[in-house]
Structure 1
């Protein structure tokens, strides 16, 4: 059955990357004691055999520090030899302990993928000394697993020892009966064989323990559906906010696409109304067709300049009228016909442009706009 959170919901969802990183910061990573024991004993065993040829020399060197010549003062010689002996033991211990430290670090990296140091894991927590929590831990599934693992380990090691000694006891007794040193040598071989069997047994136990610890740690980090939703809100925002952002992005993308398509139609415009530099509106009208002129494109500032440039390159007539350009910009929409209140003003301008295109000499028309079509540069009504 899946674990339950404090709110009663089952933890059925795999932990997210954020949850895993937070657990790592808190020191909640999979860790196998059996793997540490195996790695430490293995290195110690190898160091023992590596240092064995030098062991007699080290003992002789150390014993020399415990001799007193009697030539100098006994008190001074004891202090000097004791200091030297301490330094000797210290440095030899460092040589012995350094590989053990390295293997412990490598074991941690093998378990968690990196060296993990968490100050929060070392911080004092009252729950650790709470007797109620202690009783819960004593009768938890994890405690039962640890007990079964300990019993299994002891039974396995005892069984391995019985197996080794039962298979070697006859040879050991025979060698001791014939020659004392031969018996001691044989006993050393049995010890080595026993250590190898112990390490193999511990390796099997450590392998199963690593798998279990990783499974147990992942089980603890699992999340409820509500926790998953809450984390999603924290990292990406609520679904409502994300939906609104998507709508705004789609709207902005649609407008940008509309502007690009509008700019492509500027060369086919009939006329461009400007104010003269801040606003520009490209109009399309074909004589004999039903309907009012259509707004192909419009813009302000840099975009207005681009519309004017494209129009001039295509030979489109540019007509400057500040109030009409503003009215078309603020009251009209790209792709739509011009607003009905502007029919008369636009018709007068287009008639003027048609006459110009025919080469006729005509005066520029007076453009009258309704009061509700008068705007300032910010789109505020002037009426």
Structure 2
């Protein structure tokens, strides 16, 4: 290469490499109602499972507090029944026990246990439904249950496992467990002296004491969990809104698909206006009079007592259209009357093909009377 020789090196590159995404730019536009509806139909909504769990916990311990004596009495009934059966089992040879007696024993235990858990299941079911309705409203869809090929793709599975969202969920779970352990530990530690009395008090008092300790600790944990759930719901709402955002091009494409191409619609409206004007101009020769501004506005009026109760506006227009109406009136020897206030009121308040309002009867009648007199003379 010679010392003073210059070389130009040209590189080709694609500007699309610098785009934020493949849909026409950065997603900065809020999701449209159509996209939100489609996402909702697919089961994609902003919902916090933590908030559902917090409400379930609150209801669990609230029901436990209300039914603590009911639960305690039924538990004692189970223990009493089992302990009463022990001597009978010891007296009889185990080999002599038949399936009927064993089934009978389990039926009694199952029946009492079902009575214990029934209030918890009932209230838990109700609060689970209400929690979802409060968060996302009522919408039943089976689309999330439908099998999708990408769910069975191991590569996609690994991506979900090691994604940013998975890491956040892991850290959130660890933080949640540590907070709950701390709250549970401090709650039980305050009751340590009472726990050591369990050996010296009757069974019923021991059950009530255990229930009180568990319920108090449970309520504190539930309140902490509720705060976590509310924060998580706010985060899920923000995350959902960010994920639903659209690019400007996506918004334009959706508008074209739903409302039609604006240019095409504009041309259609223009053709409709032109057709309407042609029909309107065809009616000008039928008019009795054209009231003008004098050059800015023009309104063609006709009165036929046999077909209408009041004069009717056959045509109206401003500027260029007003000029065309005046020209048509001259060609067909229609009287043109200059009345600026009346022309403005008719143009602003009466549509083509409509009768004039009663408040304009007098003014229009005077103009028509003048025109009829001019024709008769």
CA drift of 1:176 comes to 3.5
Instruction: Give yes or no for contact 1:14–1:223 (8 Å, CA) kept in 2.
Output: yes
Query: Aligned residue for 1:176?
Result: 197
Gap regions ≥5 residues in structure 1: 269-295, 315-332, 343-356, 359-383
TM-score using structure 2 length:
0.61
Aligned mate of 2:288, from 262, 266, 274:
266
Instruction: Give yes or no for contact 1:13–1:224 (8 Å, CA) kept in 2.
Output: yes
Query: Aligned residue for 2:354?
Result: none
Question: How many Å separate the matches in 1 of 2:32 and 2:47?
Answer: 20
Query: Aligned residue for 2:355?
Result: none
Matches within 5 A, 1:105-116: 105-112=129-136, 114-116=137-139
Question: Kindly tell me: are residues 47 and 239 of structure 1, through their superposed partners in 2, closer, same or farther at Cα, counting changes over 3 Å?
Answer: same
Asked whether 1:96 is paired with 2:120, we answer yes
TM-score using structure 1 length:
0.60
Question: Kindly tell me: are residues 103 and 90 of structure 1, through their superposed partners in 2, closer, same or farther at Cα, counting changes over 3 Å?
Answer: same
The superposition leaves residues 264-305 of structure 1 with CA deviations (integer Å, 9 ceiling, x where unpaired) of: x4268xxxxxxxxxxxxxxxxxxxxxxxxxxx989xxxx9xx
Instruction: Give yes or no for contact 2:42–2:144 (8 Å, CA) kept in 1.
Output: yes
Question: How many Å separate the matches in 1 of 2:188 and 2:160?
Answer: 39
Instruction: Give yes or no for contact 2:29–2:248 (8 Å, CA) kept in 1.
Output: yes
Asked whether 1:233 is paired with 2:224, we answer no
Query: Aligned residue for 1:248?
Result: 271
Matches within 5 A, 1:1-383: 4-7=20-23, 9-59=25-75, 75-76=99-100, 78-79=102-103, 82=106, 86=110, 89-90=113-114, 93-112=117-136, 114-169=137-192, 171-172=193-194, 176=197, 179-180=200-201, 188-251=211-274, 254=277, 265-266=287-288, 335-336=326-327
Gap regions ≥5 residues in structure 2: 1-18, 90-96, 291-298, 312-323, 333-375
**SS of residue in 2 equivalent to 1:31:** coil
Question: How many Å separate the matches in 2 of 1:141 and 1:235?
Answer: 35
The superposition leaves residues 107-162 of structure 1 with CA deviations (integer Å, 9 ceiling, x where unpaired) of: 111111x1232211111112123222222222322112212211210121122234
CA drift of 1:76 comes to 4.4
Question: How many Å separate the matches in 2 of 1:80 and 1:336?
Answer: 106
Compare 94-103 and 217-226 and name the one that shifted more. Answer: 94-103
Question: How many Å separate the matches in 2 of 1:179 and 1:82?
Answer: 32
RMSD: 4.4
Question: Kindly tell me: are residues 256 and 108 of structure 1, through their superposed partners in 2, closer, same or farther at Cα, counting changes over 3 Å?
Answer: farther
**SS of residue in 2 equivalent to 1:149:** helix
CA drift of 1:90 comes to 4.8
The superposition leaves residues 307-326 of structure 1 with CA deviations (integer Å, 9 ceiling, x where unpaired) of: 7968xx99xxxxxxxxxxxx
**Structure 1 consecutive aligned stretches of length 4 or more whose deviation exceeds 6 Å:** 63-70, 182-185, 259-262, 306-310
**SS of residue in 1 equivalent to 2:67:** helix
Compare 49-58 and 36-45 and name the one that shifted more. Answer: 49-58
CA drift of 1:20 comes to 0.7
Instruction: Give yes or no for contact 1:65–1:81 (8 Å, CA) kept in 2.
Output: no
**SS of residue in 1 equivalent to 2:51:** helix
Compare 187-196 and 223-232 and name the one that shifted more. Answer: 187-196
The superposition leaves residues 91-110 of structure 1 with CA deviations (integer Å, 9 ceiling, x where unpaired) of: 65444312111111111111
Instruction: Give yes or no for contact 2:51–2:226 (8 Å, CA) kept in 1.
Output: yes
